[in-house]
Amino acid sequence: MRPTVHLLSEELIERIVAEARDLLCTLGVEIHNPGVLELLHGHGARIDAAAQRAFFTPDIIDRSLESAPHGFKLYDSLGQEAVDLSGDRTNYTPGSAAITILDHGADRSRRPAAADYVRYAKLMCGLPNLASQSTAFIPQDVPEKIQDSYRLYLSLGFCEKPVVTGCFTVEAFELMKDLQLAVRGSAEALAARPLTIFSCCPTAPIKWSDVTSQNVVDCARFGIPVEYISMPLSGFMAPVTMVGSLIQHTAETLSGVAISQLTRPGTPVLYGGSPAVFDVRYETTPMGDIGTMMIDCAYNEIGKSLGLPTQAYIGLSDAKLLDAQAGFESAAGALLAALSGINNCSGSGMLDFESCFSLEKLVLDNEICGSALHLLRGITPKEDFPARARFEEMLAEGHLLISAHTRRHLRQEHYLPGPVIDRANKSRWAEEGGKTLGERARAEVERLVAAHRPVRLDSGVKQQLTRLMNAAALRAGIDRLPVSI
Amino acid sequence: MDLLTRLSESLQGGDADQVAELTRQALAAGLAPKPILDQGLIAGMTVVGDRFKAHEIFLPDVLLAAKAMYAGLDLLRPLLAKAGVATGGRVVIGTVRGDLHDIGKNLVAIMLRGAGLEVIDLGKDVAPERFVAAAQEHGAQVIGMSALLTTTMPVMRQVVDLCRERGLYGKVKLIVGGAPLSAEYAREIGADAYCFDGVNAVDVVKRYLGTA
**DSSP 8-state code for residue A146:** G
Whether B97 and B195 map to the same domain: the answer is yes
Residues of A in contact with B69 (CB under 8 A): none
Does B187 lie in the same domain as B150? yes
CA dist A72 → A197, A268, A279 (Å) = 11, 6, 36
| Total domains present in chain A | 2
Cβ contact A66:A307 at 8 Å: no
Residues on chain B touching A431 (C-beta within 8 angstroms): 196, 200
Residue A99 shares a structural domain with residue A141 = yes
Span A358-375, pLDDT tens digits:
999 999 999 999 999 999
Residue A306 contacts residue A271 (beta carbons within 8 Å):
yes
How would you write the pLDDT of chain A (485 residues) with one tens digit per residue? 899 999 999 999 999 999 999 999 999 999 999 999 999 999 999 999 999 999 999 999 999 999 999 999 999 999 999 999 999 999 999 999 999 999 998 989 999 999 999 999 999 999 999 999 999 999 999 999 999 999 999 999 999 999 999 999 999 999 999 999 999 999 999 999 999 999 999 999 999 999 999 999 999 999 999 999 999 999 999 999 999 999 999 999 999 999 999 999 999 999 999 999 999 999 999 999 999 999 999 999 999 999 999 999 999 999 999 999 999 999 999 999 999 999 999 999 999 999 999 999 999 999 999 999 999 999 999 999 999 999 999 999 888 999 999 999 999 999 999 999 999 988 889 988 999 999 999 999 999 999 999 999 999 999 999 999 999 999 999 999 999 99
Interchain contact, A402 vs B200, CB within 8 Å: no
Residue B177 near residue B144, CB atoms below 8 Å: yes
Q: Quick one: B205 and B156 in the same domain?
A: yes
Q: At B114, is the pLDDT very low, low, confident or very high (cuts 50, 70, 90)?
A: confident
Interior angle at CA B63, CA B59 and CA B69, nearest 5: 145
Which residues does chain A have within 8 Å of residue B64's beta carbon, measured at their own beta carbons? Answer: 402
Do residue A396 and residue A294 come from a single domain? no
Q: Which residues of A touch B107 (CB under 8 A)?
A: 399, 401
Where residue B163 falls (left for φ over 0; alpha for ψ -120 to 50; beta otherwise) is alpha
Smallest CA–CA distance, residue A402 to chain B, in Å, is: 5
Number of CB pairs, chain A paired with chain B, less than 8 A apart: 39
Q: Which residue of B has its CA nearest to A411?
A: B58
Is the Cβ–Cβ distance between A460 and A467 less than 8 Å? no
Closest chain B C-alpha to A199 CA, distance in angstroms: 39
Beta bridge partners of B136: none
B212 touches chain A (CB under 8 A): no
Give the gyration radius of chain A's Cα atoms: 23
> Strands A53-55, A46-48: parallel, antiparallel or unpaired by DSSP?
antiparallel
* Domain interval for residue B25: 3-82
Domain that holds residue A405: 387-415
For chain A, which residues lie within 8 Å of any Cβ of chain B, measuring from their own Cβ?
398-399, 401-402, 406-407, 410, 416, 418-419, 424-428, 431
Q: Tell me, what CATH number does B184's domain have? A: 3.40.50.280
SS (H, E, C) A357-380: ECHHHHHHHHHHHHHHHHHHCCCC
| Cβ–Cβ gap B58/A406 under 8 Å | no
Q: How many CB atoms lie within 10 A of CB A435?
A: 16
Question: What is the total count of domains within chain B?
Answer: 2
One domain, residues B18 and B36: yes
CATH of residue B20's domain is 1.10.1240.10
Residue ending a domain, choose from B37, B53, B82: B82
Q: How near does any CA of chain B get to the CA of A418, in Å?
A: 8
Q: How far apart are CA A437 and CA A474, in angstroms?
A: 43
Which of A398, A406, A428 is nearest residue B196 as measured by Cβ atoms?
A: A428
* Cβ <8 Å between B59 and A401: yes
A234 with A245: CB under 8 angstroms?
yes
ipTM: 0.80
Q: Which helix (H) or strand (E) holds B193?
A: strand B193-194
Interface of B with A in 9-48 (CB under 8 A): 14
- Give CB contacts under 8 A, 24+ apart, made by B81-89: B83/B32, B83/B33, B83/B34, B85/B33, B85/B34, B87/B37, B87/B116, B87/B117, B87/B118, B88/B115, B88/B116, B88/B117, B88/B118, B88/B206, B88/B209, B88/B211, B89/B117, B89/B118, B89/B141, B89/B142, B89/B205, B89/B209, B89/B211
Sign of CA dihedral A26, A202, A329, A302: positive
